[in-house]
Amino acid sequence: MHESDEVIEHVAMTLRRERVGVSADFDARVMERVREEARQAAGTGVWRWMTRSRTVRVSPLAGLALAAGLAGVVALAARQGDSFRTVAPSRTVAIAPPDVPAQRMTEFMFVNPSASRVAIVGDFNDWDEGVSPMRRMSDGVWAITIPLAPGRYHYTFVVDGTTWVADPAAPPLKDDFGPPNSVITVGEATT
Amino acid sequence: MKRFWPALLVIALVAGRVDAQDPRLTRLDRRVQAQVTILVDSARSLGIPTEPVVDKALEGAAKRAPNDRIVNVVRSRFRELVAARGALGSGALDAEVIAAADALHAGASAQVITTLRTQRPSVPLTIPLAVLADLIARGVPADTASSAILALATKPATDAEFASLRDDVERDIAKGVPPAITTAVRTRGVPPGARVPIATDATTPGRGTTTTASPKP
């Protein structure tokens, strides 16, 4: 038996003979000391703080609020993306980057003295008759000038908001939806 | 907290999905809107222009076409754009893809588009393809129009010359000259009075084939 074993045996016998009292918080103090030593052994710092696991309690109401906030952020990000995606280069009137084809001012004219209003609709304005109302000139001539990038566009005139009329100055093009369209091809600008 | 993560993910995805839709498509019926959105997303993932898909749907809505008709036409437009991109190859301009899709819609073959690209690999084909579509739409048989465009491309012609061919043909048609004849004459310089190709399948304007007419006894 080693000397240390003898010492331990002696202590044990002493403890068995005489009951040693400990305070009620003895266990807690011991465990806190152990944790403190473990913390010191692992080091401190931001990384330690960030990687330490925590228990977070969230009420259902707070969870819903958090979800709504997250959805709002995602929706906002998607909207930002749309603002670039849905604007076609052909509709960009502002300064365009070098790789965007230059636009050409294209004039459309239509004769109808009895019309009270005429609009042009086509691939260049989302077929929305409110976007490009034509201007009444003399003798019942209606006109509008639209900047168009090189390409092929389908279009037609809308008279008084009800009647769709293909451009008489251009051959009609049979369309998938019934009323015929006209077509215009815009070429590259020549210098 | 762990219970909320799936719900958060679903809400985020749904919110992002709804907002990612083109706001112009709200003019469509909800069912049509969903179908068109799928096609637009597919077009985007394939790298083909999405505007023609949206434009065709909006045109249908503006003309108050039935929902099924709008969906079918937009699907057809999507397929033509995919085929046009395939015929032109990667790197094609959006305007070229749209013009090629128009040519396919009119009745041109994908082979002609590919040949045209091979002939002019580094020159924009927007105008030649647009003229091809225009000629066929005016009633010129598809193979006659294709031959005319390929002949001009071989020359090689400028965009102005392609446009000039179309203008000349339209003017001749307005005077009463058959579309196939004026196209052949304008392209090859066949002298007036000579025997020239005529359309034999006139059931669908612009989609017929061209053969040489046999002389009548």
Q: For B22-72, how does the pLDDT look when each residue is reduced to its tens digit (9 = 90+)?
A: 889 999 999 999 999 999 999 999 999 999 999 999 999 999 999 999 999
Nearest to A78 among B16, B95, B138 (CB): B16
User: Looking at beta carbons, which residues of chain B come within 8 Å of A57?
Assistant: 1
Question: Which residue out of A120, A131, A156, A177 would a mutagenesis test of the B interface target, given it has the greatest number of B Cβ atoms within 10 Å?
Answer: A177
| Residues within 8 A of B (CB atoms), A 40-79 only | 56-58, 63, 66-68, 70-72, 74-75, 77-79
**pLDDT > 70: percent of chain B:** 77
Task: Say yes or no for a CB contact (<8 Å) between B159 and A126.
Answer: no
State yes or no: pLDDT of A61 exceeds 80. no
Task: Say yes or no for a CB contact (<8 Å) between B126 and A56.
Answer: no
- The DSSP annotation for A9-38 comes to HHHHHHHHHSPPP--TTHHHHHHHHHHHHH
Is 0.80 topped by the overall pTM? no
What is the SS3 assignment for A152?
A: strand
Q: Which of A81-85, A109-113, B146-150, B180-184 has the lowest mean pLDDT?
A: A81-85
Q: Structural domain boundaries of chain B?
A: 9-88, 109-217
Task: Say yes or no for a CB contact (<8 Å) between A58 and B1.
Answer: yes
What is the SS3 assignment for B93?
A: coil
The complex scores an ipTM of 0.73
Correct CATH for A52-186 of 1.20.58.1910, 3.40.50.2300, 3.40.50.300, 2.60.40.10:
2.60.40.10
User: Looking at beta carbons, which residues of chain B come within 8 Å of A66?
Assistant: 4, 8
Paired tokens of B146: 């294709």
| Residues within 8 A of B (CB atoms), A 89-108 only | 89-90, 101
pLDDT tens for B138-151 read: 899 999 999 999 99
Nearest chain A Cα to B4, which residue? A63
Task: Say yes or no for a CB contact (<8 Å) between B62 and A171.
Answer: no
- Cα dihedral A71, A75, A76, A77, rounded to 10, equals 100
CA distance A181 to chain B (A): 10
Paired tokens of B204: 């669908």
Question: CA A186, CA A66: separation in Å to the nearest integer?
Answer: 51
